[in-house]
Structure 1
Amino acid sequence: MAALMEELVEDILLRFPPDDPASLVRATLVCKQWCRLISSQGFHRRFREFHRTPPVLGILCNSSDNDVDKVRLVPTHSFPHTDRVYINWRAADARHGRVLLVKMPTEHRAELWYRPNLMDLVFAVWDPVTDEARELPRLPRCPNYCWNAAVLCAATTCDHQDCSRGPFLVVVLDAKGGKHYIHVYSSESGKWSQQTVHVQDPGEYISRYWMRPSVLVGDELCSMFLQRDSILKYNVRTRQISVMDLPSLWYKPDLLISTDDGRLGFAAVRNSKFYLRSMEDGPGGNAVWTEMRVVVELKLPVDALVTSPTAIGFAADVGLVFVATDVGVFSFDLRSHRVRKILTRSQYSNGNKIVPYMSFYTPAFELRGPLRVKD
């Protein structure tokens, strides 16, 4: 009978919403039996298997005060984490339960545009749930001023439900003229590899990367160029590189996204209208762009439309697009069309990158003090 009751209790606890992890924390206080059950590795695993898609637990907001970089993890919903600021780091990317941090040079910052050799970057990979971080070796060459970077799981077959402590890759892209440089760090080897590819480019400025989030579509990491008229696609398995032109539009896309059926797309917000365009199978099996369509008119406050909002972030798998306005940042659900304010104007610095952090949280893995970066 006792075993049956424990199974019934676990069956109920497994149905607690993953985007309200504080409810599990409160449940551990009911009795020792519940605390032991919720804190077990078995419950940790079954909770992920039951829900499958991790929720957005927080938003990483970058800012800079007097040339001092800061990143703040602002919790969403009830992630049991106080609003914390980390000095001298910026969030570059987050995926598969990991955050990619970068430390940029502070000396001669005003000269960086003219002297890109000063971009001696330091990267670290951080797990906000366990608060463990790993600083990476220096890159074999300093990237140019405009670059992009991503972190992802290194496993060839993984459902990404619980792989934040497994092997990972960090990919850094930068370019100059017709040369594209791809640096890949493997946590298994502990080393960077470098690949240089010559791609026909109209000019140096078009070859620079737009500092908006990259998107992973299948095995291809996709990043927009500065002019936002073409995309560089890097296959992390085959290490092949290709460039895709974006369709000619009367306005530029805000950011790249991935669709529910695993296709590449891009989104843009103009005034209160949300536009979406994606790839589909065309004649002969070739992928072609769909026609631009207005998905919905965003229900934003009047004071948020004084200037046109901009899409600045995307959370894959849950279909959330983040839209910056004059009064803060809103999330837009591509499936339900629900609009929700997630950041106030004081929490978001206009023009700075935000990075959504997605992961499961169970009380067995609690945050432990300030960020510790290990070599």
Structure 2
Amino acid sequence: MSTLCCRPRSPAAKTPLEDDDLLSEILLRLPPHPSSLPRASLVCKRWHSLASDRGFSRRFRFHHRRKPPLLGFFDGVHGYFQPTLEAPNRIPRGRFTLQHGDRFRSLGSRHGLVLIFDLTVLRFLVCDPVTGDQHRIAIPPGLEARAEEDVMINGAVFRNGGDAHFQVVLTTADNHDKQHRQALSCVYSSETGLWGELISTPLPCEVPRNDYLPTLPTLVFPGKPAVVAGNSIYWMLTGNFDGILEFDLEKQSLAVIRVPVHLLEINEFWIVRAEGGGLGLTVLILSCSVNNFK
């Protein structure tokens, strides 16, 4: 009588959807739309656990960092969120609208974060509208006295790639000494929880267009948000001098860029990031026509 030898069966190979590593790579390549991960998380508990993991969320943002979708924008005065996408990716206006009292100003949003200046207590807030997280930052000592004097302070918030930490760059124009005007900046790191030293650069005292208004101070334009291009952040300067203020993130230095004289005669121009990643200008030319009815 012969006996049959039964060999233990080798476990069946996992399919891609059963392998967590492969599944994460698949989900990572979903379109970066607001509805992508929430829909994926409804498939099953395992998909939900992976799609809602914060580490995976950071990888997802980093993977799509070059072409993130524009969900909308914030009104700089009232903080109201204005959605730009259509359903099912349209974010309701009330979902991201920030309520922080009457005396606050939105300084801009970037990399999923919003920077707010609370004028009541002279404090900055970095908010993540998606998670509801808020990071409160005291104003740096070097700028506190100027903020109390109602000097315009502008700023920008940004992340480095997919890093969970962020940085805040504040800037203002010091006009106390009219013969030695200067721009000031200071950098905060959420990793250390500290502000750096004040960084300064001289501001020109004259510009042809505003010679007839010599008493105007130079301001870092509060109505136009910062633009990040390459390794620098740029703001518009207005008042006694119209130009562009550049903060180099690598060198941690400030510089002033003069605007071509012929642009000063144009009603509106904005700084933008050009297609190649550099700095560009968008010009708004207002024209009118006159009809002769005789």
Q: Distance in 2 between matches of 1:207 and 1:9?
A: 55
**1:285-304 map, 5 Å:** none
CA distance 1:25–1:146, change in 2 (3 Å): same
1:104 paired residue number: 119
Equivalence map 1:116-265=2 (5 Å): 121-140=122-141, 141-143=145-147, 145-153=151-159, 158=160, 160=161, 162-163=162-163, 165-176=164-175, 177=178, 178-187=181-190, 188-191=192-195, 193-202=197-206, 203=214, 205=216, 207-211=218-222, 212-227=224-239, 229-247=242-260, 248-249=262-263, 250-265=265-280
Q: 1:60 aligns with which of 42, 57, 74?
A: 74
Verify the 8 A CA contact 1:121 1:142 in the aligned structure 2.
no
Q: Secondary structure at the match of 1:47?
A: helix
Q: Percent identity?
A: 29
* Residue of structure 2 equivalent to 1:37: 50
Task: Give the partner amino acid of 1:200.
Answer: P
C-alpha displacement of 1:221:
1.9
Q: Provide the rounded CA distance (Å) in 1 between the counterparts of 2:41 and 2:173.
A: 47
Higher helix residue share: 2
The alignment partner of 1:193 has SS state of coil
Tell me if 1:73 matches 2:81.
yes
Q: Report the counterpart of residue 16 of structure 1 in structure 2.
A: 30
Q: Which residue does 1:26 correspond to in 2?
A: 39
Q: What's the offset of the Cα at 1:41?
A: 5.2
Residues 213 and 255 in structure 1, CA contact (< 8 A), matched pair in contact too: no
State the 1:265 CA deviation.
0.8
Residue 43 (structure 1) shift: 4.3
Please state whether the residue corresponding to 2:15 is helix, strand or coil. Answer: helix
Unmatched runs of 5 consecutive residues or more in structure 2: 1-12, 207-213, 289-294
The alpha carbon displacement at 1:246 in A equals 0.9
Cα distance, 1:126 vs structure 2: 1.4
Cα deviation, 1:119-175, whole Å, max 9, x if unaligned, reads x7321111222211111113323245333211233xxxx4x2x22x31423322223
Instruction: Please provide the CA RMSD for this pair.
Output: 3.1
Matched with 1:112 is none
Letter in 1 for 2:134: A
Larger radius of gyration: 2
SS at match of 2:234: strand
Contact 1:62–1:71 (Cα < 8 Å) also in 2: yes
Tell me the distance in 1 between the aligned counterparts of 2:146 and 2:186: 11
Q: Distance in 2 between matches of 1:182 and 1:36?
A: 42
Shift of 1:237: 2.9
Query: Are residues 93 and 82 of structure 1, via their aligned partners in 2, closer, same or farther at CA, if it must alter by over 3 Å?
Result: closer
CA apart distance, 1:85: 4.1
**Aligned-pair distance for 1:42?**
6.2
Alpha-carbon contact 2:272-2:282 (below 8 Å) kept: yes
**1:173–1:183 contact (8 Å) kept in structure 2:** no
Aligned-pair CA distance for 1:195: 3.2
1:217 and 1:170 mapped to 2: Cα distance?
A: 15
Which whole-Å CA distance do the structure 2 matches of 1:45 and 1:135 have between them? 22
| TM-superposed deviation, 1:253 | 3.8
Counterpart of 1:321 in structure 2 is none
Say if 2:151 and 2:172, in contact at 8 Å, map to a contact too: no
Extract unaligned runs of 5+ from structure 1: 64-69, 106-119, 273-304, 306-375
Deviation at 1:23, TM superposition (A): 3.5
Q: 1:73 to 1:245 in 2, by over 3 A?
A: same
User: What is the one-letter code of the residue matched to 1:57?
Assistant: L
1:49 Cα offset (Å): 4.8
SS in 1 for 2:146: coil
Aligned-partner Cα distance in 1 for 2:195–2:65: 32
Letter in 1 for 2:257: M
Matched, 1:86 2:99: yes
Q: For the Cα contact (< 8 Å) 1:147–1:175, is it kept in 2?
A: no
TM-score normalised to structure 2 length = 0.70
Q: May I ask how many residue pairs the two structures share in their alignment?
A: 245
Q: Which has a greater percent of strand? A: 1
CA 1:168 to 1:256, structure 2 compared with 1: closer, same or farther past 3 Å? Answer: same
User: SS where residue 276 of structure 2 aligns?
Assistant: coil
